[in-house]
Amino acid sequence: MVKSDQTSERVSSKNRRRFLQKAGAAGVTLIGTSLAGCSGGGGNGDGGGTAGDSGGSSSGVLDASEPADKINWISQDYASSQAIKDLIPEFEEETGITVETTFLPFNNYQEKFTQDLRSGAGQYDVAHSDPYQIASTYYPNLQPLGPLANDPEIKDIPNGLDDFQDVHVVGAGRFGSDQELYTLPFDCPTLMLVYRKDIIDQYKDQAESDLGFPFEPGKERTYEEYKQMGEWMNENVDEVEAGIGHQAAQHDALQCDFHQYFWANGGTSFEWDGGSYSGTLENLRNHPASENVTPSYSTNTDLATSYKEIIEVAHPGSTSWDWNDLNSAFANGEVAMCPQWTVFNPVLQNPDNSEVAGKIEWSLAPSGSERSGNLWGGTGLGINGAISDSRKLAAWKFITWATSPDVQRRAVMNGGGAPTRASVYEMDEIVAEREKPGTESQTPTIVPPVLEAWKPENTLQRPHLAGWPELNNAVYSNVNSALTGGQSMSDALSAVDEDWSGTLS
């Protein structure tokens, strides 16, 4: 575990193995499942008092002259949070603010924090605020951050908000019809394509002769070519059980896997006056939250049927696999190519956990009829709207510190997730690590093509709709039923529309 400001370019194999074990073990749970501020209340013995009780002059937007001396941070227990936790003593020494942490599996942390938001108790000051399971519904209970970022009397965001890449700010931070900022981007796992380079290289000449197109995964391949590559490997490659694998269980994983294909091929989830939602960054910026939308899955039956045809070519375990199952199958050498979250790279590059370490590469997803779409799955750090202004000021100091360029640099070198700051990717230390082979790099959560995947033309974004957990369930339950023969795809998509209409009405 790296704790110094400067990390040697030469890391011993023992230290690197410990790093990969830490990043990998936490990374497996990164996605978990699915990957107007309230006033008053919330005192927890920190001396902060209730909202508006500053005991002194105002700092500007917040009616507090000094930050509270203690805050509570609740988070999913995963690589990014653990890497920051190791650095917290430095923050505490610098600011005098004690940070108490509660790290839990996704479902447990989500339940505790959403209950706290609903009740207005203010038990937790800072939270890893998942944009779909938490912030899409409960953003009115979070503290708006725009006023804090623009207040000249409060310490500004290091390097400014513009140093965060736009895809992360829009995806993790902005909610509601006015697109106010409610979180600072903290992590950024992305659903891309991982493949066995050794197999691609070994069979390249034979496959290209038979198929008539380059046997190279990536954005240049269409989904039809991707399917044909899978079929060809099923018949010709003995090293794996199947050419392709997918995460198509009745689980949030299927919703992600399905939408990656669906939106890249022009599928629409809902319509509103003047637009339709097909997963673009502009869709996420401009659609009117959950107001006056009409679900439109059932107009895309042919497209969804073509997704089913891909799953029929995939490893037969795919319809019962979530992202963890698929990762295990790929690591065990069962499949040659699959869509997967970049956070799993440390596991795959660790020879203690993976039979394919040193044999893999990542690429952008294949292109659909509209584009290559790579589903973004990041999260931000938000502040509870129910706590006192002095605690909000302390929480603001913490989240600007935790997402600052230098802390992000050190966190990723300490086994954390990929940074959300553009400037970090230009730092000499990070550039040098990114150029190393995956089995040697000290930053394996940064897969080489990920900056391309975050360009607006290549990214996919789920909508920020209230009630997302129910909407999410409707997609993956019905689509999985169609994939496994429980109902027709037409009936499945009609059921999705019906369920969405009920939830959004």
191-375+466-504 has the same fold as 31-189+378-426: yes
> Phi/psi at 494 (nearest 5 deg)?
-65, -40
Task: List, in order, residues 6 or more apart from 107 with CB less than 8 Å away.
Answer: 32, 33
Q: Is the pLDDT of residue 362 over 80?
A: yes
Answer for the pair 243, 313: CB distance below 8 angstroms, yes or no: yes
**DSSP per position, 16-78:** HHHHHHHHHHHHTTSS--------S----SSS--STT--SS---SSSS-SS--SEEEEEEE-S
Tokens representing 412 are: 């990723």
Q: Cα(434)–Cα(224) distance, rounded to whole angstroms?
A: 31
* 170 contacts 461 by C-beta, under 8 angstroms: yes
In this prediction, residue 265 carries a pLDDT of 98
Query: Nearest CA to 298 among 460, 488, 505?
Result: 488
What confidence score (pLDDT) does residue 482 get?
98
Domain 31-189+378-426 in this protein, CATH class: alpha beta
The yes-or-no verdict on residue 457 having pLDDT over 50 is yes
Report the distance separating Cα 484 and Cα 498, nearest Å. Answer: 21
Stated as kind and residue range, the H or E segment containing 489 is: helix 489-504
pLDDT: which is higher, 59 or 306: 306
Give the angle subtended at the CA of 355 by the CAs of 352 and 359, to the nearest 5°. Answer: 115
Q: Whole-model pTM?
A: 0.90
The pLDDT tens digits for 100-119 are: 999 999 889 999 999 999 99
314, two tokens: 């995939």
**pLDDT tens-place string over residues 482-491:** 999 999 999 9
Task: Give CA–CA dist 169/295, Å, rounded.
Answer: 26
Task: Kindly report which listed range (19-33, 169-183, 195-209, 369-383) carries the lowest average pLDDT score.
Answer: 19-33
DSSP state of 365: P
Radius of gyration of the chain (CA): 23
> In the block, which residue shows the tokens 């060809």?
232
Confidence of residue 369 (pLDDT cuts 50, 70, 90): very high
Q: How far is CA 120 from CA 54, 100, 134, 143, 231, in A?
A: 19, 19, 15, 12, 54
Question: What phi and psi, each to the nearest 5 degrees, are found at residue 214?
Answer: -60, 130
Is pLDDT above 90 for 208? yes
Distance of CA 7 to the CA centre of its chain: 27
Name which of 471, 480, 447, 405 is nearest 27 in CA terms: 447
- Rounded to an integer, the average pLDDT of 211-222 is 98
Predicted pLDDT of residue 5: 30
Determine how many CB atoms are found less than 10 A away from the CB of residue 212: 9
What pLDDT sits at residue 27? 47
What is the helix, strand, coil percentage profile of the chain, to 5? 45, 15, 40
State the CATH class of domain 191-375+466-504. Answer: alpha beta
Angle of the 323-331 helix axis to the 252-264 helix axis, nearest 10: 80
Give the pLDDT confidence score for residue 38 in this predicted structure: 34
Q: Where are the domains of the chain?
A: 31-189+378-426, 191-375+466-504
Alpha helices (runs of H) in 403-437, residue ranges in sequence order: 405-413, 428-434
Neighbours of 45 (CB within 10 A): 6
- What pLDDT does 156 receive? 76
Query: Is the pLDDT at 26 greater than 80, yes or no?
Result: no
Tokens of 184: 């600072």
The chain-wide mean pLDDT, for the chain, equals 89
- Over the stretch 388-433, which tens digit does the pLDDT of each residue have? 999 999 999 999 999 999 999 999 999 999 999 999 999 999 999 9
Residue 32: pLDDT over 70: no
pLDDT for the residue 43: 36
**pLDDT for residue 368:** 98
Residue 133 identity (one-letter amino acid): Q
Angstrom distances, CA of residue 363 to CA of 37, 52, 452: 41, 51, 9
**pLDDT for res 59:** 60
Residue 141 has pLDDT above 60, yes or no: yes
Distance, CA of 446 to CA of 450 (rounded, Å):
7
Q: Is the dihedral of CA 365, 78, 379, 426 positive or negative?
A: negative
Confidence of residue 177 (pLDDT cuts 50, 70, 90): confident
Find the helix or strand (DSSP H, E) in which 83 lies.
helix 79-85
Residue 102 exposed, middle or buried by CB count within 10 Å (0-12, 13-18, 19+): middle
Could you read off the pLDDT of 262-300 as tens digits, one per residue?
Answer: 999 999 999 988 889 999 999 999 886 656 889 999 999
Whole-number Å distance between alpha carbons of 459 and 377: 10
For range 241-246, the mean pLDDT: 98
> For the chain, first and last CA: distance in Å?
49
Alpha-carbon distance of 243 to 230, in angstroms, equals 4
Mean pLDDT of 5-18: 39
- Segment 362-376 mean pLDDT: 98
3-state secondary structure of 443: coil
pLDDT score for 273: 85
Confidence of residue 212 (pLDDT cuts 50, 70, 90): very high
Amino acid letter, residue 395: A
Contacts of residue 320, Cβ cutoff 8 Å, sequence gap at least 6: 249
**Of 293, 399, 401, 414, nearest in space to 346 by CA:** 414
